[in-house]
Structure 1
Amino acid sequence: MSLKIDSGLFGYDFTDHHAILCVPVDAEIKEIRKRYLQIARLLHPDSSNVVGDSQKQIANQLLSKLVNPAYEKLSVERNRGEYLLILSQMGKRFSQEAASIMLKTELAQQLVAAPNISMSYKEAIAKIAETQFSDLQQAHKIIAQISELNLVYLMRMGGQSMNRPPSSQPQNSHKQLPATPTPSSPPKEESAAEQYLRRAQSLLEKNQLSLAKVELQDALKLEPKNSHCHSLIAMVYLRQNQLKMAKIHFDNALKLDPNEKTALEWKPKVDQALGITNSGSQGSSSSKTEEKQPDKSGNGGLFGGLFGGKKK
């Protein structure tokens, strides 16, 4: 039996592990593990009710070549993080190319116009999961159908970071972004760059630095003269102990806006760590050593204050 799948995300030379396990693309690890155990019981020779040698062979192929590798990918936190980052980038691409995307299944076409995309998507996934492996001969076609739903969901969400339930966001998650309009003002529609900034701010607060950097780099492509964006990406580099890159972006932020608050606060500290005096010259060798041995206590120092240090 051929296990080749060429619809949905598979059609973009991408293995859709979420489709194989029939879980939403923002599923938590606990949900992924629960679903994997359900499938394993259905397909494993020691526990399945599959009858006939040919059917048992198909079940074994599905388990060993698709299901087990999918679970291994999604159950390891580091692998899963990289995988979700790729999904987020694909979602941005799909949202920009929506008009040219061809869908084969009626269910996916209906999902394109669903008023509540998140609820409709998850309901469809849950319903398919009930019978995903009822007919093993058709399992690869079912997986293809699920992958088309995943594609539509990513397209509709526009590449928003996965695995980020709205209810878990802190109430002050936008504190460094421009203030929201007053009740008397009409709501302002966010630009694409503002959406990137908002997501990056939330990711920064969760210490998801690599994902935050991707969002900020995309924002800078749209608005290279956004001083706040330069400050935020400088903070990412600062958290990653890339002080020279942090300085470059703090400098850019202040050139664009001399009153940029974050840059004004943190650039002097970065300059001090790099051994740069007010005149722009390099300090003593002992000062240079500070870049190689930054404060890692987490209780203040260069990386305290804004990110985890004690508030004064």
Structure 2
Amino acid sequence: MSQTFLPPKSLQQLCDPYAVLGISVIADDRQIFKRYHTLAKLLHADRHTKNCNPDQELATAIFSHLINPAYEQLKHRDKRYAAIAMLQSQAKALEQKPLSSQSAVVQKIMEMSTPQAELFYEEAIAYYAEDQYKLLDKFYQVTQQISTLNLVYLRLHKPNMFMAQEAVPTIPKVEVKPVELLLNEKTNVKPDLTGYAQRHYERANQYVSQAKWPQAVQELRDAIKLEPNSSDYYALLGLVHLKQKFTGMARVYIRQALKLNPQNSLALKYAPELKIEAGENANPKSTAKAMSIAALFSHFTQGKGS
């Protein structure tokens, strides 16, 4: 049975407002508000009453004593900087602990380059946040995991990177005239990129049948580079991520597949499972970011087996 109250220990240990909301420490004003609005709907008392959910009192306590204070702190810039300073102090303390004594995820992140770690961090936060408050008896453990990720991320950055920056004088604009670049010889012969892309796609299908997800991701990324407007490639890439339980990334790719071809059978098959409505378009920036994260996860999971 779930608790219907929050013990003082929980309130003391969940002191990371970013982790409480389930967002990264680089979240901007819009992301902070959007997440708060999402949690307000998710934990609203009426929702639990209608569903006959026994966690109504716990949901109300979480929202009143954790979510609201966290949002109040992060919606003010000065308080936000104070929260970052506090977390950076905790991150320094984390450095004193031997790496071997820390979780496997922390160890892997510390082995990555900074760009790789940043991409992994963002996707891991989104992964945890999706289920953070769906099972209220697990919210404490999930929030602690997010807090740990935040501390590891802050270890990789300079202490003053999140502080307010002084205004920098604008560099005068210099007019640059376009220069036409000409080839010595013109030719009408063009490589058949579609054929190469199809080969990557066929190999990806073979890897999917063998549940070799990282290899399938790599082949599909290569196919999309050569032929970026094929809905089949995006649809299969969405399925690969869904099989790995990366639902956020799967949603991005399935949306893109349906944007390119609203009748794509594979995308239509999994759209309801991912709660994608008809006519819902993909965000080009989200798709580009997901492609970068896919490259990282392909590297990160390589060698782990299926």
Tell me the TM-score normalized by structure 1: 0.45
The structure having more radius of gyration, on CA atoms, is: 1
Q: TM-score scaled to structure 2, two decimals?
A: 0.46
